[in-house]
A and B are shown apart, each in its own frame.
Chain A
Amino acid sequence: EVLLLESGGGLVQRGGSLRLSCAASGFTFSSYAMTWVRQAPGKGLEWVSAISGGGGSAYYADSVKGRFTISRDNSKNTLYLQMNTLRAEETAVYYCAKGAINENYYYAMDVWGQGTTVTVSS
């Protein structure tokens, strides 16, 4: 069974940092691009960042560029999101999701984790 399990969420002060992790199982992790998506309370989905299967290519939403860093450790089947200089409006559930086709496929995500909650206090 393909599973994604996020962790690392919690309460952080505005301007603080947090690192999220996403542990993958049930598929060849390095063969798929991975994406982070967030959802503020009562709001819609917001694309945050994506990374290629090998980790050599990374993409970011303008709203997080320069503050967030996506990375992966294929030997540990784990995806990360380092979040710095957090803002109150970034309070959200953060989901990791698996690309649907291959290591460079970002157009759709076919498996999602249950999400981890990040709360940024002001």
Chain B
Amino acid sequence: SYELTQPPSVSVSPGQTASITCSGDKLGDKYASWYQQKPGQSPVLVIYEDTKRPSGIPERFSGSNSGNTATLTISGTQAMDEADYYCQAWDSSTGVFGGGTKLTVL
């Protein structure tokens, strides 16, 4: 079955740029989506179709996807961005999530 791999944790200082990667075989040939989940809350879609931002998502969130790696980039990271982030893709008629990355803003 298809697998997506994310680093368990990423740390960033306020105002700096955070990058969270998601790796999978030929992931660049598929659409990657990203979700933000804060403690006790439901996930929120922040990036879909590799680079698109849903309405209401700040411009500091951006995405890319090429080769075997999709990347979520948060520019000018704010304390409110501290959360778990999950990548997701669709393969062989099945959805797949990465294991999640805890973003710490310190």
* Set of chain A residues within 8 Å of B61, measured between Cβ atoms: none
Which of B37, B54, B88, B99 makes the CB contact (< 8 A) with A110? B54
18 further interface pairs, Cβ-Cβ under 8 Å (given A61-B95, A95-B43, A110-B45)? A37-B97, A44-B99, A45-B37, A45-B88, A45-B97, A47-B94, A47-B95, A47-B96, A59-B93, A62-B1, A95-B42, A100-B54, A107-B90, A108-B33, A109-B45, A112-B43, A112-B44, A113-B42
Using CB atoms and an 8 Å cutoff, list the residues of chain A in contact with chain B.
Answer: 35, 37, 44-47, 50, 59-62, 95, 97, 100, 106-110, 112-115
Q: A50-B95, A106-B90, A108-B31 are in contact. Are A45 and B43 (CB under 8 A)?
A: yes
Q: Can you name the residue of chain A whose Cβ is closest to the Cβ of B1?
A: A62
Using CB atoms and an 8 Å cutoff, list the residues of chain B in contact with chain A.
Answer: 1, 31, 33, 35, 37, 42-45, 48-49, 54, 84, 86, 88-90, 93-100
Determine the distance from Cα of A109 to Cα of B94 in the docked complex, in whole angstroms. Answer: 14
CB distance from A68 to the nearest CB of B (A): 13
* Set of chain B residues within 8 Å of A47, measured between Cβ atoms: 88, 94-97
* Set of chain B residues within 8 Å of A115, measured between Cβ atoms: 42
**Complex contact B94–A45 (CB within 8 A):** no
CB distance from B23 to the nearest CB of A (A): 15
Q: Can you name the residue of chain A whose Cβ is closest to the Cβ of B84?
A: A44
Q: List 17 A-B contacts (CB under 8 A).
A: A37-B43, A44-B99, A45-B37, A45-B43, A61-B94, A62-B1, A62-B94, A100-B45, A100-B48, A106-B90, A107-B49, A107-B89, A108-B49, A112-B43, A112-B44, A113-B42, A115-B42
Determine the distance from Cα of A55 to Cα of B54 in the docked complex, in whole angstroms. Answer: 26
Determine the distance from Cα of A36 to Cα of B19 in the docked complex, in whole angstroms. Answer: 28
**Complex contact A46–B42 (CB within 8 A):** no
Determine the distance from Cα of A97 to Cα of B88 in the docked complex, in whole angstroms. Answer: 14
